[in-house]
Amino acid sequence: MRTRIPHPKAAATATTRAAAALAGLLLVLTACDSSSATDPAPSAADAKNGDSAPVPAVPVPRGEGSRVPYDFNGDGHPDLVINDLVKAPEDPRGDDAGTGIVYGTEDSPLDPAARRLLNARANAAKSGDTLPAAFDAEAACDLDRDGFTDLIVSTDPPYNGVGAPPVPLQILFGSPEGLTGKAVTVRIPAQARFGKEWPEHPVCGDFDGDGSTDLAVTASDGRISFLRGPFARTGAPAGATLLPDGTPYLHAPEPKADTDGDGYDDLVATTRPRTPGTAAEGTLLLGSADGPARPGGTYTFPAEKLPEASLRTKDTKATTGTTRTTLLSHGDFDGDKKADTVVRTTYRGGREDLVALYAAGNTDDPVLTFSTALFLP
């Protein structure tokens, strides 16, 4: 259920709502803590941890558009995309719940209460009569230049093996209310398609330096479908060409997409998939007026030492088993212009998890934590 806020500029309303949400959070935590008589009184450090209490959802704050990366509702605060969510305890092998979005707000760098679940049933475009089952976030950028970041997802449309496979990539456009409604399929014109491999691994960037964000997508035999922005709401790019010198996997260079500062974003092609935060080697393809087509030599992604999201639990079974930590984001969530670190650590073979936001320069004490279990119905 969504409350419509008629005047997006009513900052006081937003503050009140955030304060109410925080009060709700504190109440829940207090109730939880009071159940154990031996626990000390809840401190500020306890209150920031959302790993043990349900957090009631609040409306996503309305925005008016911004140029901030990953700002789906355009309120100037970056938002977080979480592809892997924990599953319901009663159905540990069940289907993916979907993709979770946690919005940043005026009062919290990430507000677990301001969250939305995206999935194929609710948000995917049909392929013919068939709704895909998969709906995984792949990239995010403002493809139609309206000030609201758009989400590029991969789906699994049916394919009978005849001709080129359907395009599995879809765009869910951002809006003042964030990511809602139905996605549209990315249109890849025939001249920019090649072979029978699925178009995959979309990478955002202004590769031709014209100010509009473009998409690079894999094609067969190491080709690249270069789709020029801006994109129309139909999913059609402004132009499209096929480029050589790609590989089966494409990535954006990190942390700067324009590695040589010439005004054209660059692209990295690798022969193997890469997990964010891990070391990898690839080939740099420099942006140019013709797109990411100029050879730039070898490119190395350095390995990163990630902090864990540590469960605060007395349940030793959860904390002594195998844990796995993945990098979710290096966005600037607290607005100090420095890259923060958001990680997700899974416990008990993925049956429990914790997401933690660490401010730049402090990987000891997280700003906030929450479990993706809050996306469970």
Interface with Ca ion (CB under 5 A): 71, 73, 75, 77, 79, 142, 144, 146, 148, 150, 174, 206, 208, 210, 212, 214, 258, 260, 262, 264, 266, 287
Nearer to Ca ion, 144 or 334 (CB): 144
Nearer to Ca ion, 264 or 370 (CB): 264
CA separation (Å) from 115 to 53, 291, 318, 343, 370? 15, 36, 26, 17, 12
Nearer to Ca ion, 229 or 277 (CB): 229
Residues 6+ apart with CB under 8 A from 114: 21, 57, 58, 59, 60, 61, 102, 103, 105
Shortest CB 296 distance to Ca ion, Å: 8
The 10 Å Cβ neighbour count of residue 133 is 14
Nearer to Ca ion, 84 or 146 (CB): 146
CA dist., res. 147 & res. 176, Å (int): 9
Nearer to Ca ion, 210 or 308 (CB): 210
Nearer to Ca ion, 332 or 352 (CB): 332
Shortest CB 344 distance to Ca ion, Å: 20
Nearer to Ca ion, 138 or 214 (CB): 214
Helix (H, G, I), strand (E, B) or coil at 357: strand
154, containing H or E segment: strand 150-154
Shortest CB 176 distance to Ca ion, Å: 10
Shortest CB 376 distance to Ca ion, Å: 23
Shortest CB 141 distance to Ca ion, Å: 8
Shortest CB 12 distance to Ca ion, Å: 19
CA dist., res. 17 & res. 87, Å (int): 29
Sheet holding 294-301, edge to edge: 249-251, 267-270, 280-286, 294-301
Nearer to Ca ion, 31 or 238 (CB): 238
The distance from CA 230 to its chain's CA centroid, rounded to whole angstroms, is 21
Helices (H), 277-358: 316-320
Shortest CB 310 distance to Ca ion, Å: 27
Shortest CB 288 distance to Ca ion, Å: 8
CA separation (Å) from 102 to 58, 189, 234, 282, 327? 11, 34, 26, 32, 15
Residue type at 21 in one-letter notation: A
Backbone angles phi, psi at 18, to 5 degrees: -65, -40
By the 8 A CB rule, do 206 and 228 touch? no
